[in-house]
Structure 1
């Protein structure tokens, strides 16, 4: 017992554990979860094959990603698995041979065979947003349900501010400030701001009251009697509002459910569809790249152009449009 206690309270071991915890905090929580899941699967596979997972030989990693490709995983997913394996080695002070031929050649073959074009979810443009919000409106003579009020606020605020799912569910009442032009929303931390410097985002009133995020958010907060804490929360079947924030997975589920109610194929939509749709609609209506990046918080022009603007402008100034 004394020996075990000595090991637990060893100052060097405690310092190592604390340092490792800070290393983990350098990554977003969603990234940490994804890495843990991917690393756990790799460890289990290695154990079944009687291979060493840590440190892993490049040939072992090459065999594993070939196995994943045969199992039908997408190229992008396999790339994330490689990142998780690399991270597990680096955070433990172990060498990771990034340019190992066995891994690189196998990955190149996987890319050639499977292709690298990612499957893009359908964006929720302005017309889809209108159709989705319309499904939430109560029948004549009936009152709005709390769930419908929340979902309308979530969709319209998420769209107008081009918010990520994680950003929406992180918002609290203290992060909202009402001004003459609409709202100023403070993001205390986001995907591109892991150090928590924070930034402000303006949310203007919408011309259409049915799609106005400012009015929708106010209606939800008043009806749900939320004066502090998380803004977007679960509502049970008895109309009781939880004290805890929704998860980012819940946002995706809400988008899919409302899309389905609007007669859309919910398999084509995800939580990211709202953010992507706002960016695409802005591009279609001639908003500048810098303006779109400012609202959405993007830091890479290439990402915005390739994922949103390029697709939105496929039919703008088309060479054969109107010729026949």
Structure 2
């Protein structure tokens, strides 16, 4: 605690300035920390200074990442991490120099490819994934987080971090507060509204309440990690991990004939956007539901929706 430490003004100032700040989210900052640890390890191996680093050190490191098979977007993320750590330490950034910018440009031109988007799960596919699951503890949990994640356009980290206290039932459905969102850089939280479903078998709220009733969860993480036991599964106090969420979605997708290599945790979020747009929801409403700051980002989530409808300009040519 603060009163038990002998800290001077310079110590406090250093701590304050080392915070990531409001311009990036907590998850982005954690990613930068992870990347910078890798960079530090590289520097230790080659006996180079990591902070401050030279332009030549950064140049060699980024090229080494490329030769290790890292994609250009990953390389840029590492470059940004190096820049951020120099910036918060009031050091000139070697990653923000003409030489490094030119290297990134060359890597983009030679090795850059359009990122392959993961399959956007449809309502019909999600239905087939969950409707015939057995009446077991683990299946109740899996069904609940898939339907809530799909309806709420939630990232897997948001599913993992969801807590009982973040759910507020209403007459019309449930209101979910997302306390740690990728785009919530100020930490104010974001709200998702999920109405009651039309069909009992696929209603996300009924599935959620079934899981809460069976599991007895009344506080803390909603979707818990389950530990194998001689009598089935035991509910732990830990939230299910993002990696486990992705693995379960892939496995259930495969059971209904979808290539698991084309599916990821983000398939729920992208699927929600695509299906809503196909059904006539406006881009603005879809964007708001996904908690995007602008509709351009939302448009990137939508898979060629209505590309051939009457608004396609080719129909106006009279061919």
- TM-score, normalising length from structure 1? 0.86
Partner SS, residue 157 of structure 1: helix
Q: Segments of 4+ in structure 1 off by > 6 A?
A: none
Of the candidates 288, 307, 313, which is equivalent to residue 306 of structure 2? 313
Structure 2 Cα separation of the partners of residues 172 and 51 of structure 1: 44
Name the counterpart of 1:31: 28
Corresponding residue for residue 241 of structure 1: 235
Q: Deviation string for 1:188-228 (max 9, x for gaps)? A: 34222233323332111111211110110010000111122
Q: Aligned pair in 2 of structure 1 residues 155, 90: CA closer, same or farther (>3 Å)? A: same
- The CA distance in 2 between the partners of 1:18 and 1:26, in whole Å, is 17
Q: Does 1:105 align with 2:102?
A: yes
- 1:124-135 alignment runs, 5 A limit: 124-135=121-132
Give the alignment partner of residue 252 of structure 2, picking from 249, 253, 258. Answer: 258
The separation in 2 between residues aligned to 1:290 and 1:24, in whole angstroms, is: 29
Gaps of 5+ in 2: none
Q: Identify which of 282, 287, 305 aligns with 1:288.
A: 282
Is 2:90 the counterpart of 1:93? yes
Give me the whole-angstrom Cα distance separating, in 1, the residues matched to 2:132 and 2:308.
30
1:232 and 2:226 equivalent? no
> What residue is the counterpart of 2:63 in the other structure?
66
Unaligned runs of 5+ in 1: 1-7, 139-143
Partner of 1:308, secondary structure, is: coil
| Greater alpha carbon shift after TM alignment, 253-262 vs 87-96 | 253-262
Compared CA separation, residues 276 and 101, structure 1 to 2 (3 A): same
Deviations 1:82-116 (A, max 9, x none): 11110111111111155422111111111011124
| 1:121-159: CA deviation from partner (whole Å, max 9, x where unpaired) | 1111112211211352x2xxxxx1111011111011111
Name the CA distance, whole Å, in 1 between partners of 2:8 and 2:258. Answer: 59
Measured against aligned partners, the alpha-carbon deviations of 1:15-69 in whole angstroms (never above 9, x if no partner) come to 2453255347875343233222211221222233333222122222122212211
Matches within 5 A, 1:265-304: 265-304=259-298
Instruction: Name the CA distance, whole Å, in 1 between partners of 2:82 and 2:306.
Output: 39
Q: What SS does the aligned partner of 1:287 have?
A: coil
Pairwise mapping of residues 138-149 of structure 1 onto structure 2 (< 5 A)?
A: 138=134, 144-149=135-140
Match of 2:213 in 1: 222
**Residue among 198, 223, 229 paired with 1:207:** 198
- When the two chains are superposed, the root-mean-square deviation of aligned CA atoms in Å is 2.4
Question: When the two structures are superposed, what TM-score results if normalisation uses the length of structure 2?
Answer: 0.88
Say if 1:135 and 1:258, in contact at 8 Å, map to a contact too. Answer: no
Q: Give, in angstroms, the shift of residue 310 of structure 1.
A: 5.4
Distance 1:134 1:242, change over 3 A: same
Tell me, yes or no, if the aligned pair for 1:276 and 1:308 is still in contact at 8 Å.
yes
Conserved in 1, the CA contact under 8 Å of 2:164 and 2:221?
A: yes
Once residues 159 and 263 of structure 2 are traced to their aligned partners in structure 1, the CA distance between those partners, rounded to angstroms, is: 17
Distance 1:115 1:196 in 2: 33
- The aligned length equals 307
2-structure distance, mates of 1:24, 1:250 = 30
1:173 & 1:37 partners in 2: Cα distance? 29
